[in-house]
Every structure is written in structure tokens, then in C-alpha cells.
Amino acid sequence: MDVAAEMPVAASTVQDLVTFALSKFRAGDTVSTRAMLDAIRRSDPACDESDDHLVELIVMAAIGKTMGVVFDHRSPDERLPLSEGISLRA
């Protein structure tokens, strides 16, 4: 009897999903939080982690691999309005 064959295959951890999604990029590349969330959700539709938690994991892993991160995952409705005292114009 092969004991190893009877052991259930461990489900991928969230960190594994993030690592796999980032594996398609190299040091110095810039990753999009929206594209990364889409890739993670496609690879494991049952993943019930919040977008905010996944973005935190993506950022930590990406900067550890010297990648840039573009925070483009929020819709315009969810973005905080600029305060009246802040101007982006020079």
C-alpha cells in the first residue's frame, strides 16, 4: 500500500498563488495590482481572500523581488477624492 498516494494534495496557499502569478515577471518589471488580482482569481476561483489582503501580499512579494507596483485595482468610485488643499498642478 502506497501511503503517499492516499494523502490528499494540499491546496495552494494564498502566498503560493501570489508567487505563481509573480513568476511571470522579472526584477525591474512593473506589475499591475488589477492584473495580478485577475490572475490570482482565475487560477483559484475559490480564493476568498479580500482584494486588500491580496494586494498587501502582492506588494510585499513584488518589492522583495525588486519589482515596481502600479496600484490600479480600485474603480474610480472607490478612490478617495483629493482634499481641496491638495493640488496636482505645479
Average pLDDT over residues 57-79: 88
Tell me, yes or no, if the pTM score tops 0.75.
no
- Confidence (pLDDT) at 60: 96
Q: How many percent of the chain have pLDDT more than 90?
A: 67
Average pLDDT over residues 34-61: 95
- Confidence (pLDDT) at 79: 59
- 14-46 pLDDT, tens digit per residue, is 999 999 999 999 999 999 999 999 999 999 999
The 3-state secondary structure of the chain reads CCHHHHCCCCCCCHHHHHHHHHCCCCCCCEEEHHHHHHHHHHHCCCCCCCHHHHHHHHHHHHHHCCCEEECCCCCCCCCCCCCCCCCCCC
